[in-house]
A and B are shown apart, each in its own frame.
Chain A
Amino acid sequence: MRLLALALRRFLWMPPTLLGLTLIVFSVSHVIPSDPARVLAGENASIEQVETLRRKFGLDQPLPVQFVRYVSDVVGGNMGISLYTQRPVATDLIERLPATFELALFAIALAIMLGLPLGVVSALMRNSWLDQIVRLVTIGGLAMAAFWLAILLQLLFSMQWNLTPVQGRIDGWGPDPITGFYTVDALIRGDLDTFLTALRYLFLPMMTLAIPAMATIVRFTRAGVLNVMNSPFVFYQAAMGLPRRVVIWKYILRAALIGTLTQIGLVFGNLLAGAVVVETVFSWPGLGTYAYNSILQSDYNAIMGFTLFTGSVFIGMNLLVDIAQAVLDPRGR
């Protein structure tokens, strides 16, 4: 019951948080001295041409009016029309969502699979040569700029070793979508060739996103394990004569992973935001490239739509993390 109340309380915070986010993004994007009507009309367009577009998209209205209208439209499920694609922003986002989600899910899965064990081992073997190497790698993973890492991986894996494609999501045009996740769709169809091709295309962008995510997970896991290892209850369990294996897996990890779990939620949100750079470098046709183009074109509705969407995912992930944390740690209920 307490868990339900917690979830409800957190859920009720979502609308005001999203409203705040909308207000901030709306203000920031509209105070930039850019004129989307002019950009859309072109550099040689007449004033009349620009004004026609301004009226058509409601950009001639005062900012508060535009904001109120935008919020009421969003509440009604309408995120507006993209100035550039001339289509509903929601449609654009939904079309590109599977590409980004597939990439982010593979990246987070890889980051967790590598990050958790490395973090635990690093903590258990503190100050050993293995620990030093892991720490070096994680610091490097966090310090490297995504675009630089991406180009480095392209040069190495694609150009030097000829193992992966340079960019893109699939050879030619993707299969007709079932879920929109190429790997899943290929498996549903039993098409192993397409599945492996999709994996080859996924590899480099996934690595680019996964390496810094993994570094974060390693560091938090390591710190969490070290912290718990020095707790009195761990000494007590060890003094009770429990095997080290049981103490580690049953007591230390459960307590240590609470902090890591929170980070994984945040890291997943960051992956969506980080996809803007990675998708651009790898020409990955997802939300990131959509956001990149929208920013370049001052496409207000598209920028707002992308931000609202990623913000919602971020807040949703936080909600899930809070609930999961409460399940794992009764003190939080």
Chain B
Amino acid sequence: MLRRRPFLAAAGAALIAGRARAQSPRRIVTAINSPYDTLDPHTVFDIGRIATRLNMYDCLVRWVDNPPKLVLWLAEKVDISPDGLIYTFKLRANAKFHDGAPITADDVVFSMERILEMKKGGYSLFKGAIDPGKTKALDAGTVQFTLNAPFAVFLSVLAELWIVNSTLVRANDKSADFGAAWMARNTAGSGSFRLSRYDPAVGFQANRFVDHFMGWGPNPLDQIEYRTILETSGRVLGMLKGDFQSTDGYLPLDQIKQLRDGPNIRIDEAESIRTMYFILHNSRAPLNDINMRKALSYCFDYDAFNIQILGGSVARNAGIIPNTLWGAPADLKGYTYDIAKAKQHLALVKAPLRPLTIGILAGFGQSEQAAVLLQAGAAKAGIEIKLVSEPWSVIQGKYNDPDKTHDIIPLWRSAYFADPHNWTGVIYNSRNIGAGNASHYRNPRFDELTDKALLLTDQEARRPLYEEASRILVDDAAGIYVYNTKWFGPFTRTVKGVRFCPIGDAQDMRWMSIG
């Protein structure tokens, strides 16, 4: 039986111990708002949950730094045939999976076949470019991809081909599902960190994989932990209290200011490659009239939004391709806030005007602010706009359907791979209507440019094609292009070695240390 006084003494001691429990010196806890509901790298393709893929899996190539550079990773050499159809990779000899098994060409073949068969996650990147059976293991250390046609971004998208341990996955394939059920809760990778704890309701924890083929610098992290904290206030308060050493870099401005004032916290800043724009429904009247789209483009007060509302925390981006990426024309002149010009264009619209709708992303304050600003500007020009707030799942569910989607949607285009194709061909080529081209935009010249750019492997030869494509989008007012995001990465001051890369938002933890 517990006597009262010793019990209280023990309780007090435990409370103090609980509060004073120190963090492991080489451990970083990161708070993220995405639930890690699956660990399978081949079923998800988003930035929110990229930490599981970046830290526990490897690819043949990897994006690092800012502006992003594509570097060889699991591969030590790549040969591309002159016709751009055959890619041959030599794998590193010292690369091992977490269970100690060597990484072989068979694992690469299996990983590609798994993606193509499961048709999830990053499948859309490879669909049409390479067919099942076209990835061959020439020997244990050499793998070859034979493409259906030249595909300039193939190397870029290979950064989303996460190599899984084929032996381990096959051993856990209980119902001919490519081990999907098992892979959702376990890992079979070779990444810099090895899964130690996982709870979909909480997050995941991983320990440093000492034998990783890239080796380790001084004072590397021993352990990383990612926690799902859905509420922004929770992530910010957790940082201020010292529960977390890092959180996401796209917090609202007021929260960034609050963190900046916090003790022991620093904010790393970088211009990212994530553009904010309004999707315009280019094929529905009256927005199918270029003058209507131009009128709207003149109705948005870019400076008021970027400078006053967002406090200059973003950079004006006149086109869809981020300023900092090659392919973005340096001399691109975008639209300005000019109601007189808006009225001029509006007068040329042939179709009868009707109230337009903006689909706002519920829960995204900035989406609503931008929509209200456009609504106010449009009202001055004589255009009536209604605002409809819906969850992302609802907006996304409709936006590939030309009959159901809203007239206008404020949205961000994130960096899935650092190639202008991600901001042009994927979301504006008419081939992708219904599968990414939510603007329902068609322009034969634009299609020709973006298709041609995919056939060339020389970046300098591709550059003018994307520059012209970007200009066409602005000339056509295919969307309203607002800004390029700046990343404000909050870290405790003890965190060193952060290497921000827009593809992954500095969540590649192998570079970091505590000191």
Once the chains are docked, how many angstroms separate the CA of A34 from the CA of B288?
Answer: 25
Whether B234 and A86, one on each chain, are in contact in the complex, defined by CB atoms closer than 8 angstroms, is no
Does A95 have its Cβ within 8 Å of any Cβ on chain B? yes
Given known A-B contacts A33-B394, A34-B394, A86-B38, A193 and B14 have beta carbons under 8 A apart = yes
The interface stretch among B90-98, B196-204, B443-451, B491-499 is: B196-204
The stretch that binds A, out of B17-25, B74-82, B298-306, B378-386, is B17-25
Check if B416 is an interface residue, CB within 8 A of chain A: yes
Residues A43 and B436 in contact, CB atoms below 8 Å apart: yes
Q: Contact: A196 with B11, CB < 8 Å?
A: yes
Cα distance A95–B199 in the bound complex, in angstroms: 10
Could you tell me if A192 and B243 are in contact, using CB atoms closer than 8 angstroms? Answer: no
Q: B241's closest neighbor in chain A, by CB?
A: A166
Interface string of B460-502 (1 = CB under 8 A from A): 0000000000000000000000000000000000000000000
Instruction: Report if B181 contacts A (CB, 8 A).
Output: yes
Q: Name A44's contact: one of B15, B200, B205, B426 (CB within 8 Å).
A: B426
For window 220-254 of B, CB contacts with A under 8 Å fall at: 227-231, 233-234, 237-238, 240-241, 243
- Whether A35 and B233, one on each chain, are in contact in the complex, defined by CB atoms closer than 8 angstroms, is no
B37 touches A85 (CB 8 A): yes
Determine whether the beta carbon of A34 is less than 8 Å from that of B43: no
Are B124 and A39 in contact, CB atoms less than 8 angstroms apart? no
Establish whether residues B199 and A283, one from each chain, have CB atoms under 8 Å apart when the complex forms. no
Q: Is B389 an interface residue (CB 8 A)?
A: no
B357 at the interface (CB under 8 A from A): no
Is B11 in contact with A192, judged by CB distance below 8 angstroms? yes
Nearest CB of A to B282, in Å: 18
Do the beta carbons of B435 and A34 come within 8 Å of each other?
A: no
On chain A, the residues within 8 Å of B396 by CB distance are 35, 38-39, 43
Does A310 interact with chain B (Cβ within 8 Å)?
no
Q: Does B434 contact A (CB under 8 A)?
A: yes
Distance of A96 Cα from B37 Cα, bound (Å): 13
Residues of A close to B199: CB separation below 8 A: 173, 285
Give min CB distance, A51 to chain B, whole Å: 10
For chain B, the bracket of interface size reads 35 or more
* Contact of A44 with B124 in the complex, beta carbons under 8 Å: yes
How many chain A residues have a CB neighbour from B under 8 Å? 60
Q: Check if B404 is an interface residue, CB within 8 A of chain A.
A: yes
Q: In the complex, what distance in Å separates the CA atom of A293 from the CA atom of B205?
A: 21
- For residue A154, CB closer than 8 A to chain B, the reply is yes
Which residues of A are found within 8 Å of B432, using beta-carbon distances?
44
Flag the segment in A60-68, A157-165, A213-221, A262-270 that touches B.
A157-165
Contact assessment for B38 and A85 in the assembled complex, using a CB-CB cutoff below 8 Å: yes
Residues of A within 8 A of B38 (CB): 84-86
Contact A86/B184 with A197-B18, A281-B234 known, Cβ cut-off 8 Å: yes
Contacts of B438 in A (CB 8 A): 43
Known: A52-B119, A289-B230. A38 touches B397 (CB 8 A): yes
Q: Contacts of B241 on A, CB cut-off 8 Å?
A: 158-159, 162, 165-166
Interchain CB contact under 8 A, B231 and A283: yes
A86–B181 touching, CB < 8 Å: yes
Contact A193 B237 (CB under 8 A): no
Interface residues in B1-35 (C-beta closer than 8 Å to A): 7, 10-11, 14-15, 17-19, 21, 35
Say whether A273 faces chain B, with CB atoms less than 8 Å apart: no
Report which of A48, A165, A197, A289 forms a contact with B243, defined as CB distance below 8 A: A165
CA distance A48 to B229 in the complex (A): 34
Do A85 and B14 have beta carbons less than 8 Å apart?
no
Write out the residue numbers on chain A whose beta carbons fall within 8 Å of the beta carbon of B442. Answer: none
Nearest-CB residue, chain A, relative to B43: A86
Q: Could you say which residues of chain A place their CB within 8 Å of the CB of B37?
A: 82, 84-85, 293
Q: A171 to chain B: which residues have CB within 8 Å?
A: 18, 21
Asked if B341 is at the interface of the complex by the 8 Å CB criterion, the answer is no
**Which single member of B15, B120, B201, B205 contacts A289 (CB below 8 Å)?**
B201
A92, A281, A293: which contacts B231 (Cβ < 8 A)?
A: A281
Decide if A296 is an interface residue (CB 8 Å cutoff): yes
Given contacts A46-B435, A167-B229, contact A196 B201 (CB under 8 A): no
Q: A167-B234, A168-B202 are in contact. List 10 more A-B contacts (CB 8 A).
A: A33-B397, A35-B397, A39-B392, A44-B45, A46-B435, A166-B237, A166-B241, A168-B243, A196-B11, A196-B15
Residues of chain B touching chain A, judged by Cβ–Cβ distance below 8 Å, are 7, 10-11, 14-15, 17-19, 21, 35, 37-38, 40, 43-46, 119-121, 123-124, 127, 180-181, 184-185, 197, 199-202, 205, 227-231, 233-234, 237-238, 240-241, 243, 391-394, 396-398, 400, 404, 416, 426, 432, 434-436, 438
What residues make up the interface of A, taking CB atoms closer than 8 Å to B? 32-36, 38-49, 52-53, 82, 84-87, 92, 95-96, 99, 151, 154-155, 158-159, 162, 165-169, 171, 173, 192-193, 196-197, 200, 280-283, 285-286, 289-290, 292-293, 295-298
10 A-B pairs with the lowest CB-CB distances in the bound complex, closest first: A285-B201, A35-B397, A298-B393, A34-B397, A193-B14, A46-B435, A44-B436, A34-B394, A196-B14, A39-B393
29 A-B residue pairs with Cβ-Cβ distance under 8 Å, sorted by A, are A33-B398, A33-B404, A34-B391, A36-B397, A39-B392, A39-B397, A40-B120, A41-B120, A43-B436, A44-B45, A48-B119, A48-B127, A49-B120, A82-B37, A86-B40, A86-B181, A87-B181, A151-B233, A155-B237, A166-B234, A166-B237, A167-B238, A196-B11, A196-B18, A280-B231, A281-B231, A283-B230, A283-B231, A289-B201
